[in-house]
Amino acid sequence: MTPRLTLLMAWFAAAMVGAGLGGCASGPAPHASSLQVVSSSEPHSSSATPDWEVLNFPGKARTQFVQVRKDGRDAVMALARSSVSMKRLRLDVPPESLGAVRFSWMVPQLIEQADLARRDLDDSPARIVLVFDGDRSRFTPAETMMSELARTLTGEEMPYATLMYVWCNRRAPGEVITNPRTSRIRKIVVESGATHLGRWLDYERDVRADYIRAFGEPPGALRGVALMTDSDNTRSVTRAWYGAVRLSEQEDRR
């Protein structure tokens, strides 16, 4: 393997950890029994709940995340200037406890040239990212090598699977988009086009059903949740506001 190829693989492995939040927690994470509300913008009521942290990508400019009030809501404002970052929270929710995820966002404008199915234009003003564990023996040889390289470089394994809820320019809500770099990341379009720009939008999604639809198998444990606003591929400026992200256990769903 040439030095250039080794360097490219090293960057890609580290980026995949970033794109999937990382596969293992570095400290205690809340079990589903203590997890009623997970919020990026509200104070934590329990010292056992870890803080949200900003995760930056190697070699990339950083998206800014700022806690604000927006239209009477506590929110996180994400501002990307040719940049990409995530604001993440590590979790440990067993698959049998997976219920609904509720989230909200407001986007003032689309990234005109973005295309979530293209490697060179894969940007979105708003994403909610869920990361899952799973049976890593099902990895392809290339995925196994990438996960091992990621662990060596970053101390975190490449996630087994990553599910993103995204705002897309043109694809219809409900469409599943496979990441152009790896099939271990799949995106479900929940908002499309410019019709609902400039207003708060609230969503509730069945995590288990969405995972099965995207990956064709039941989910493993939920290991993390994140906010992601990126414009690094299109070299543009984009902004979004995120409200609280709430997870409910299976037995608590109405």
DSSP 92-145: EE-GGGEEEEEEEEE-S---TT--TTSGGG--EEEEEEEEE---GGGS-HHHHH
Alpha-carbon distance of 40 to 128, in angstroms, equals 11
Dihedral sign for Cα atoms in the order 51, 57, 62, 63 = negative
Q: Is the pLDDT of residue 249 over 90?
A: no
Burial class (CB in 10 A: 0-12, 13-18, 19+), 102: middle
Average pLDDT, integer, range 32-43 = 45
pLDDT score for 248: 86
Alpha-carbon distance of 75 to 70, in angstroms, equals 6
pLDDT over 90, % of the chain: 61
Q: Which residue has the higher pLDDT, 83 or 29?
A: 83
DSSP label at 10?
H
50-83: per-residue pLDDT in tens? 588 998 887 899 999 999 999 999 999 999 999 9
* Global confidence as pTM: 0.82
pLDDT score for 57: 83
Beta-strand relationship, 222-230 and 201-206:
unpaired
Tell me which of 102-106, 135-139, 190-194 is least confident.
135-139
Q: Is the pLDDT of residue 13 over 90?
A: no
Alpha-carbon distance of 73 to 126, in angstroms, equals 17
Beta-strand relationship, 53-56 and 84-93:
antiparallel
pLDDT score for 22: 57
pLDDT score for 142: 82
pLDDT score for 28: 39
Nearest to residue 147, comparing CAs of 156, 18, 90, 27?
156
Name all domains of the chain by residue range, CATH numbers in brackets: 3-252 (2.60.120)
159-177: per-residue pLDDT in tens? 899 999 999 998 999 999 9
pLDDT score for 59: 84
Q: What tokens appear for 102 in the block?
A: 């509720």
Tell me which of 84-98, 123-137, 152-166, 187-201 is least confident.
152-166
Alpha-carbon distance of 114 to 169, in angstroms, equals 7
